[in-house]
A = this chain, B = another copy of it.
Amino acid sequence: MTQTAERLLSYRDAINEALRQEMERNPDIVLLGEDIAGAAGRRDQGFVDAWGGPFRTTQNLIQQFGEDRVRDTPISEAAFIGAAIGAAAAGMRTVAELMYMDFVGVCFDQLLNNAAKMRYMYGGNVQLPFTMLTRIGAGVGSAAQHSESLYALMAHIPGLKGVVPSDAYTAKGLLTAAMRSNDPVIVFEHKLLYGLQSHVPEEPYELEIGKARTVREGSDVTLVGISRMTQVCLEAADALAAEGIDAEVVDLLSVFPIDYDHIADSVRKTHRMVVVDEDTPTCSVAADIAATVGEEAFDYLDAPIMRVQAPHTPVPYARNLELAYIPDATRVANTVRQQLGA
């Protein structure tokens, strides 16, 4: 058997493993969502776990934990996500899946007015061990209503936390941390990352929510990546390295709290920054980072902070348009070159 530290696991399997291990450890955890198992109510006909989740991140869990802890739901996001929040307030630990982030509008009130505000408006009189899983990202040809990222909407809301794992290792660690937290945490899975493999320890571990990490050291410019954009930044850094430009890459990992200090430290070293964000640009996480780090590291900046973002448009369907929509390594590298005045 391979060494733990060397074991390769996909992002999808890392999520599945985090759920399984935490549910084993803690009998209070309940999972809710649409088709997270599938064939609901038909075990007696020999059908169970028909889907294992729309992207198979929850497969095999119902076999191990049963219908009461792995609950398929009707298409009633406001009710079942609200119920997950209520159950958390009543002493359970709940994980609810919103199939796509684009659907957040149908349950937005529950997140905005209950999950985010209950503790504050109740003067501390409640714990909310509630995690919401959802998925983001364009690139699968699913057009305007199944491709957005929109984590900036959640980051804007005081009381919520949000994590954006960029590979299998961070997916397991952040999801585990989310499930152990008594604050509401939203975990944004990126659809294009499910197949990506990385080294993932077998034992459970937590990554601290609110901490960024440096995934590549460099001295000329800081690239900040969010979710899959971290992979894009690494690709761009490789391309730039070939030209003698040494880029540092910071993987944001949390969209709230945002680890401004980590980023600012990097910028104080490199004196330049490009933030890469697949979300729409206006009032985005990238804009927020540019504003805050732009203020706090102002004296260290040799060039304006730049952003590579999606355009301020919905996501188009046709492949050529969709490819133009998503920030890629070419756009990132070009922006760095422009910033360096090359």
In the assembled complex, A247 has its CB within 8 A of some CB on chain B: no
Beyond the given A103-B109, A158-B282, A298-B301, please list 10 additional residue pairs across the A-B interface where CB-CB is below 8 A: A102-B113, A104-B109, A104-B112, A121-B317, A153-B153, A153-B283, A157-B280, A158-B313, A290-B290, A294-B305
Tell me if B282 and A121 are in contact (CB < 8 A).
Answer: no
Of A58-66, A144-152, A225-233, the stretch lying at the interface with chain B is A144-152
Tell me if B110 and A280 are in contact (CB < 8 A).
Answer: no
Interface size class of A (residues with CB under 8 A): 35 or more
In the assembled complex, A90 has its CB within 8 A of some CB on chain B: no
By Cβ-Cβ distance, the 7 closest A-B pairs, closest first, are A105-B109, A298-B304, A290-B291, A105-B108, A108-B108, A287-B291, A295-B304
14 example contacts (A-B, Cβ-Cβ < 8 A) are as follows: A105-B108, A105-B110, A105-B111, A105-B112, A108-B108, A113-B144, A117-B314, A150-B156, A153-B153, A156-B156, A256-B282, A283-B283, A294-B305, A296-B304
Name the residue among A282, A303, A313 with the largest chain B CB count within 10 angstroms.
A282
Query: How many copies of this chain does the complex contain?
Result: 2
In the assembled complex, A116 has its CB within 8 A of some CB on chain B: yes
Tell me if B283 and A305 are in contact (CB < 8 A).
Answer: no
Q: How far is the CB of A7 from chain B (nearest CB, A)?
A: 36
Tell me if B108 and A121 are in contact (CB < 8 A).
Answer: no
In the assembled complex, A47 has its CB within 8 A of some CB on chain B: no
Tell me if B143 and A314 are in contact (CB < 8 A).
Answer: no
In the assembled complex, A10 has its CB within 8 A of some CB on chain B: no
0/1 per residue, A157-169, Cβ < 8 Å to B? 1110000000000
Q: How far is the CB of A325 from chain B (nearest CB, A)?
A: 11
- With CB as the reference atom, state the residue of chain B lying closest to A152: B283
Scan residues 95-127 of chain A and give those whose CB is less than 8 A from a CB of chain B: 102-113, 116-117, 120-121
- With CB as the reference atom, state the residue of chain B lying closest to A148: B112
In the assembled complex, A285 has its CB within 8 A of some CB on chain B: yes
